[in-house]
Amino acid sequence: MLQLFLSEPKWIDHNANDESAKQKKYLLSELESLIQSLMSSSGRSEARLWLCNTLSGISSISPRRQQELFLSLLTSKPTKQHLAAQLLQLIFDKQPQKVGPIIAKKSYMLQDFFRGNPVRILQWFSNFSGSSGLEHGKGAKALSQFSFVNRDLCWEELEWKGKHGQSPAMVATKPQYFLDLDVQRTVENFLEYVPEFWSSREFSDSLKDGEILDIDTKFFVNLFVDQMYKEDLEEIWEVIDEFLTEESFSFLCRHLLIILNEQELQLFLDMISKHLNPRSESIEYGNASQWLEIILSNCTADWTINQLLLLNAVTTQGRQLLHFVRQEGSLDVKEKINKLVFQLCESGSANDLTPIMKECFNRKTIEAIILLGLQSWAIHFRLSEEFRSPESWESLFINNGIRFHKSNKYTLLHDEISEDCGSDLDERSSKRLKSKKKRKQKKKRRRSFDRDESDENELRDFDLSNNRLDLQSKAGDWLLSTDGYSTTWSSRPARTPVKALLLSVVEVGFCQMGRCCLTFHFDFMSKLLNRGKP
């Protein structure tokens, strides 16, 4: 039967279980080697994506600290121009109006943007209005206004499509005549003979809202990267500082970390440990990012990128890693993993993990935590492979000392308790209260069924006996003693806010039902944070 390590280990010095503990550590190390090898050969990029997603959930970094963190990465050596380009792209997409004034101030630089490029010229300058009720587009408006104000200087450079040109007086009375302007030839003339236009107030004003960025974003990204690193343009760095402060840490991680190579990601992880401030008393058992915060802030310089990729995969991405092994692993690798998992879950007792727990208080904490994570994933693997029927789950509960009541009711609220859960409930409740509860339960069940109706894996059977609508679980629903019999737990992948099942692996561990992902119990991690003795 699967060993869940529920009994509390005895923190005493003895050698009785030395051989058993060594065997478990050996098996875990073999499992680590197999997963590392598989991830290195075909799953490296996916493992990095998993880690970046976990990092994006970190919540203890203040806006000012996140600005300092990303700015430090951006200015580190060697130059991170690809990161700057990605960041500028995000700013252009979300806040182009903050970049527009910088372009407007250096409008003369856009001569190279338009020179020799008819497509860009027509996109920006050819949007003249044919009706007096509508305004010219921004580029066309700048061209027309400058031409009128400086007609003595540039009117002869205007090229017309007709047999003869138009006079300023005629165009002033009939602005639609600008529709006859040969825009491409006119702008080319301005590029050659009217340099004053490119520094003019009229042209500068047309650029202030940043709309011109849409014509060719890549050009402006490259332009600004050069201005950042070669010219050290202060205005651009100010916009970047503001953007890094205003945006959420999650958004920045999801859009910036994914483009880093492994050396750059390692640098970011080194930097982030100095900015973290996790509070052990506020840890959420199911929050993978909080566990990663604790590891990064307490295992400084003890870890490598390979270790973090592995630890994150086995503790926070158990289901994805399981799918990856099944899809990408060779037959030989899968057989070896199956054998190791069986041995890890069948043999031993809670005290087999005691030496590993004690190692968490030594310098190489990360290594011991990886072993615990591997044990957790082995449990996840075994549960997903062999525990599919209600009988198998009940056998698992019994053999691990978990008391339970059967439940035939699919509940959504934590304080609802099934009438069929095996407890002796009071039968003398008022009929009016029962009727009210039934109506509320029917509505909730009906809404839940409507949402899940299309999911074939989530189908339920209806029981209409006694004029009641109970949802019978094909896979099994139970109320467990681990949370005081207060919430229905189902062996199906969780689609409702069920509570987690505490599995004490020191009080030793934590297994989220539905994902069956063992992480580490709050009591143990508190001791680890405080560097106390067990």
Instruction: Quote the pLDDT of residue 204.
Output: 96
Q: Dmax over Cα atoms in the chain, in whole Å?
A: 106
Instruction: Quote the pLDDT of residue 142.
Output: 94
Give dist(CA 94, CA 340) in Å, integer. Answer: 50
Q: pLDDT tens digits for 45-102?
A: 899 999 999 999 998 899 999 999 999 999 999 999 999 999 999 999 999 999 999 9
Q: pLDDT tens digits for 117-171?
A: 999 999 999 888 766 556 778 999 999 999 999 999 999 999 988 766 778 878 7
- Please tell me which of 208-212, 280-284, 412-416, 529-533 the model is most confident about, judged by mean pLDDT: 208-212
Give dist(CA 405, CA 394) in Å, integer. Answer: 10
Q: pTM, whole model, 2 decimals?
A: 0.73
Task: Kindly list the domain boundaries of the chain, sorted by start residue.
Answer: 1-57+276-402+501-534, 72-246
Give dist(CA 313, CA 322) in Å, integer. Answer: 10
How high is the mean pLDDT of the chain?
75
SS (H, E, C) 63-129: HHHHHHHHHHHHHCCCCCHHHHHHHHHHHHHHCHHHHHHHHHHCHHHHHHHHCCCHHHHHHHHCCCC
- Please tell me which of 323-327, 430-434, 444-448 the model is most confident about, judged by mean pLDDT: 323-327
Instruction: Quote the pLDDT of residue 408.
Output: 65
- Please tell me which of 159-168, 213-222, 429-438 the model is most confident about, judged by mean pLDDT: 213-222
| For the chain, percent of residues with pLDDT exceeding 90 | 37
* 102 C-beta neighbours (distance < 10 Å), count: 19
* 173-187, 369-383, 393-407, 439-453: range with lowest mean pLDDT: 439-453
Tell whether the model's pLDDT for residue 531 goes beyond 80: no
Give dist(CA 10, CA 351) in Å, integer. Answer: 7
Cα→Cα distances 308→50, 165, 303, Å: 11, 71, 7
What 8-state DSSP symbol labels residue 274? T
